[in-house]
Structure 1
Amino acid sequence: MNQPAFPGATSVSALDVYDAVAPDGLAGGTPHLHTVSTEAYLVVGGRGRLHTVDGSGAFAERRLGSGDLVWFAPGVIHRAVNDGGLAVRVIMQNAGLPEAGDAVMTFPDEVLADPQRYAEAAALSGPAASDADRLAAAVARRDLAVAGYRALFDGDGRVDPVRLSRLHERAVALVRPRVPEWRERWESGALSVARETGDRLDALETGADPGLTAARVAVASDAPAFGMCGRLRRYETWPAAAGPTRGDR
């Protein structure tokens, strides 16, 4: 018997945002965007800020405190700033797909333009490395992305539309080779769950059992990781067939 899908075919992670300070004086995570999946933050502790640049180039800063819920569409560049003990629950659309490389970090343009350089910059040390080494690598990766993120802005604090457009082009070129794999994950995950709802409605409409006799309970396991924005506990809510292939998000 297959386990029931997590609601909405989403994924959930517990995130403690990095408190190491970047070269621009702000503590926190790695600026990045997602190309396909919407992301949400539910703040459960501490305080901080969320910096965003939307698809039009508009920059915004939002204060974050316990109980706040904010979400952003694919393409929104976001950076979590930790002002003290910021802890978040991250809800991601399309469980299993973001973990397969949907995120693109805002590295300098010369890195984004070269898939090999991007892969090297994005990678962390292997699982055999110590936590200290992996943390140092995550912070160095964050600092490189902050440098590219800051280069998007003009001296007046506005986002340069040409640089933003180039970032979007680089992001599409980087992820395009992954699309066939992502489509398989989506079809076996989020799309399959949506179709299951349709099947249940069809059964109810005819007076048939929509699956009540097959109902079961599921519990997710969790695993620690060094993510882009902080230390993660990732709950494996997606079907095994659509599980992650990358160690960090």
Structure 2
Amino acid sequence: MTSSLSLPAGIGMSRVHVYSSQAPDGQCGGTPHMHLACSELYVALEGRGAAEFLTPDGVRRVDLNPGDAVQFTPGTVHRLITGPEDSLRILVVMENGHVNEEGDVVFTFADSDLADPDRYARLAAADTPDEARARRDRAVRGYTELVEAWQASPALGLERLRAFHGRAVGLVRGRAVAWPRLIEEGPARMLAELTARARAVAAGDTGHLERATVTPLPAPRPESMVPRMCGTLWPYRP
């Protein structure tokens, strides 16, 4: 039985300061996007805001005040909203930290952008705050089209959402070939370790207790936070 320095259950965990700049629809916040394999959890830490969601059930908005939390599954288009004077800071927990970094995200660009993988890759790249803002604005315009389709007709909205799902899978399926290995090395390995510890306790074995460790994680440093999808981000890493 091994000892791991991964976060519990192989999760990814980050602190995010949500973008407070205004998007094309007049709201302030992050970039609408979707994950194809991983579930996610938001925990509000400071400020006030909301999370907007689009699923096959339609459009939903959940307010986020300090202490509030909301979780959602793959296939959920999501977006964080905040205010310029009381900007939202959240803790993000990802079902698998490495899968998201290896391509488990698609932005809600217009269908013409999604149909061309090379064009999509260029538009999705963002290394500077200005590039991240341009990416956010393009995704908000595509997201607005999806929402307006739902407002016009649930049947039309579902049709457009399913079309987006299809485009998304087409864009990332090549990278998804590596995801099972990442899951095996992350949460699957952690689950195996947990199972081994449980069996050790049932057998009266104290060996793993004698290998107990404490690993402090560095605190977020504002100057080291980088522009990402929902805002500036600091990942917690052991």
| C-alpha separation in 1, matches of 2:153 and 2:92 | 28
Give the aligned partner of residue 82 of structure 2: 82
Give the aligned partner of residue 181 of structure 1: 178
1:2, distance to aligned residue in structure 2 (A): 5.2
Structure 1 contact 57–164 (Cα < 8 Å) conserved: no
Question: What RMSD, in angstroms, separates the aligned Cα atoms of the two structures?
Answer: 1.8
1:57, distance to aligned residue in structure 2 (A): 4.1
Q: How does 1:1-249 map to 2 (within 5 A)?
A: 3-54=4-55, 56-83=56-83, 84-125=86-127, 134-152=128-146, 153-154=148-149, 156=151, 160-209=157-206, 211-221=208-218, 224-237=225-238
TM normalised by structure 2 equals 0.90
Query: CA 1:157/1:40 → structure 2, altered by over 3 Å: closer, same or farther?
Result: farther
Q: Higher helix share goes to which structure?
A: 2
Structure 2, unpaired ranges of 5+: none
Deviations 1:96-145 (A, max 9, x none): 211222111111111111111111111013xxxxxxxx111100000010
| Percent of matched pairs sharing the same residue | 36
Query: CA 1:3/1:218 → structure 2, altered by over 3 Å: closer, same or farther?
Result: farther
1:224, distance to aligned residue in structure 2 (A): 2.1
Deviating beyond 6 angstroms after TM superposition, the runs of 4 or more aligned structure 1 residues are none
TM normalised by structure 1 equals 0.86
* 3-12 or 186-195, larger mean C-alpha shift: 3-12
Deviations 1:191-241 (A, max 9, x none): 00001111112222222235112221223346521111101111124xxxx
Amino acid at match of 2:118: Q
- Size of the aligned set, in residue pairs, is 228
| C-alpha separation in 1, matches of 2:131 and 2:203 | 57
SS in 2 for 1:228: coil
| C-alpha separation in 2, matches of 1:188 and 1:155 | 40
| C-alpha separation in 2, matches of 1:157 and 1:29 | 25
SS in 2 for 1:119: helix
